[in-house]
Amino acid sequence: MSDVAEPQETVELKIGEESYSLPVITGSYQEKGIDISKLLKTTGHVTFDEGFKNTGSTTSSITFIDGIKGILEHRGYPIEQLADHSSFTEVMFLLLNTELPSATELSHFEQKLKDNATPPVGLRAILDSLPREAHPMSMIGTIISALPGFYPESVDSWKNEDIRWNTIYRLLGHMPAMVAYVYRRRQGLAYIDPDPSLGYVENFLHMMYGEVNAEVAEALDTLLVLHADHEQNCSAATVRMAGSSHVNLFAAIAAGNSALWGPLHGGANQKVIEMLEAIREDGGDTQKYIDKAKDKEDPFRLMGFGHRVYKNFDPRAKVIKMYTDKVLDALNIDDPVLDIAKGLEKEAIADPYFSSRKLFPNVDFYSGIIYRALGIPVPMFTVMFALGRLPGWIAQWKELRESGQAIGRPRQIYTGYTKRDYTPMEDRS
Ligand code: CMC
């Protein structure tokens, strides 16, 4: 692992007649960032970058993405290798501790998760007080937000290392049961207690369905690995922004979870299946939907296509596509929506609108088909994303804690009225 090297290079910025020298920081793969942290003080200017398309908000040693080459690595390990060889719990350990665990370390880590597999019973009462039809992301958000109430000492998880680790184990340990509770509450089924003899993903399936299919468990484990972290995306950046106020882990994760819900982020997996279903019900005319997506007058977008960072392919989508066939075969499922997805992908990729804008299927394009094959209802998909992304969010919050970074507080360019006098009510038109 390499830290950011001392700046050797500078760039010159000219404002009017004045020249300013800005240091350039260099990452592990020689990626460059112009350090503007003293710009306001020295020049009176801020930078402007709506949507942070060109702004590095932090240094980080957790995840590396090269969007042009389609590379995703966690702590240096390529996602394809982790998907092939690692378990979800092993990847959790890696994200949190930088190195892959030894057998003893992994079994100790997994035991900690098992010790924390049972959430406070009061969470069930909270879920029971929500309408059954409530969106699962509202349900999971509500019970994540409730956790500091059950564990008051967790408010010191920023300050105190022992409490920090206890809170991390609690959250990771509780999450499978919490997701299963959400599912069973919506289905109107009785809650199932964890089974300490089972592994993390098997136990999750046991609490969801009361039974465990080994092939399903293996596929789900891989899907969760593929979602484990994705550097400074909308939800991780939200976790860091909230965490920078030194708020406790549970609260920061609740913030990230809310950010995930949106259809442009984790909510896309639900929208993909809804779109594929709509195409099927509309007679399967994929070209019609491609044309809609290309029409600038039409707000419709091909869900599961495009990515802020990946501009050739999403390496996670490649692995998922392979697993989709494997899971459907293993479960002996013939899903007509898969054929529509494959047709849509082929036609969109061949279309200059999509190729010229570098729009390719992303992780969400095929994940929904697998979730559906596993019997997970469509509105639950984003909660499944949250289950997978949880260790990444925690690793981001923990890294922020260890970095001593300042509170996040962007600037703005104000475009409203300049100062004016109050108008009495009778003078207003
Ligand atoms: N369908 C049709 N056109 C699109 C799409 C799409 N899915 N995505 C982008 N474009 C067009 C867009 O209209 C724009 O065209 P033009 O240059 O003519 O104005 C161009 O491509 C660039 O789009 P952008 O919105 O500036 O790109 P962005 O980097 O801001 O947005 C995105 C990335 C993922 C939000 C966007 O591609 C999108 O809305 N995709 C659909 C939603 C989706 O699948 N989200 C899941 C992302 S992966 C999971 C995750 O990490 O959250």
Q: What is the pLDDT of residues 273-321, one digit of tens each?
A: 999 999 999 999 999 999 999 999 999 999 999 998 998 889 999 888 8
Report the pocket of ligand 1 as residue ranges, CB < 6 Å.
230, 233, 264-266, 268, 293, 301-308, 357, 359, 362-364
Q: What is the pLDDT of residue 48?
A: 96
Q: What is the pLDDT of residues 59-73, one digit of tens each?
A: 999 999 999 999 999
* CA 59 / ligand 1 centre spacing (Å): 26
| Section 372-396 average pLDDT | 94
**For the chain, what is the mean pLDDT?**
94
Q: What is the pLDDT of residues 37-90, one digit of tens each?
A: 999 999 999 999 999 999 999 999 999 999 999 999 999 999 999 999 999 999
* CA 387 / ligand 1 centre spacing (Å): 24
Please give the model's pTM, rounded to 2 decimal places.
0.92
Confidence of residue 3 (pLDDT cuts 50, 70, 90): low
Q: Of 221, 229, 314, 364, which is the active-site residue? A: 364
Which residue has its alpha carbon closest to ligand 1 atom 11?
A: 357
Q: What is the pLDDT of residues 90-128, one digit of tens each?
A: 999 999 999 999 999 999 999 999 999 999 999 999 999
Residue 135 designated active-site: no
Classify domain 281-373 at the CATH topology level. Answer: Cytochrome p450-Terp; domain 2 (1.10.230)
* CA 382 / ligand 1 centre spacing (Å): 18
Q: What is the pLDDT of residues 129-171, one digit of tens each?
A: 999 999 999 999 999 999 999 999 999 999 999 999 999 999 9
Domain ranges of the chain: 10-56, 75-266+378-402, 281-373
**Which one of 307, 312, 356, 364 would you pick to mutate in the ligand 1 pocket, going by the greatest count of ligand atoms within 8 A of its CB?**
307
Q: Report the percent of the chain where pLDDT is more than 90.
A: 85
Which residue has its alpha carbon closest to ligand 1 atom 38?
A: 306
- Taking the domain 10-56, which CATH number applies? 2.20.28
Residue 298 designated active-site: no
Q: Ligand 1: which atom is nearest the Cα of residue 306?
A: 37
Please indicate whether residue 196 or residue 8 has the higher confidence score (pLDDT): 196
Q: Which CATH class is domain 75-266+378-402?
A: mainly alpha
Report CA-CA distances (Å) from 301 to 180, 277, 295.
31, 15, 9
* CA 268 / ligand 1 centre spacing (Å): 11
Q: What is the pLDDT of residues 14-31, one digit of tens each?
A: 999 999 999 999 999 999
**Which one of 359, 360, 393 would you pick to mutate in the ligand 1 pocket, going by the greatest count of ligand atoms within 8 A of its CB?**
359
